[in-house]
Structure 1
């Protein structure tokens, strides 16, 4: 995906706004990086490229947040977890579900995106999250 600009967190979130979950892959050793980095931490190569990640992953671990920062109070209680993507990269994320008790380690999840926000206070960048598969 060489048409994308150099790897930056701003570009990562621009892609989220377009409903694409992107990562950067090292051309030399194939290591996948999220958040994006300009230099591979495994082999130190600066030859990296954007790749689009798949939509499915498995829940590795999670916790339920009952006391949250003020900007997330409207979501409390909510789950945050680590999702192992099909490509082998593990991503932290909010796990959206109407039934927190249904969350199970190893369950399949799929990526989704928050709508584009007109909000100007933090956090206002488009967000990805995971939800139960349909």
Structure 2
């Protein structure tokens, strides 16, 4: 399954290739901050393309993964780096999978851990 391909996604990610593991109607949301879900493969790719290129290195370290039926849950740490500045925070990713493709992707995290993001971005 393509979930293992998510590890190591970074600013040089080829979204045309990565997007193939998402169904065309996939929804993605970060449920720990006020944000409407992003619906559709192209919209998800575009949303990530606006955010991810700000960083020199992006690492998603998978700590644990469990699956039951069409539900896959990942415990991971995400690290976003620019030069010497880095922010690492804990994430729980929930994926709904049908036919080997992600149909829904939800991330949950402690928004307090993101308080340092402006300093990482140099703001």
Structure 1 length-normalised TM: 0.25
Instruction: Please state which structure has a larger fraction of its residues in helix.
Output: 2
Instruction: Please state which structure has a larger fraction of its residues in strand.
Output: 2
- If asked which structure has higher relative contact order (CA below 8 Å, sep 6+), I would say 2
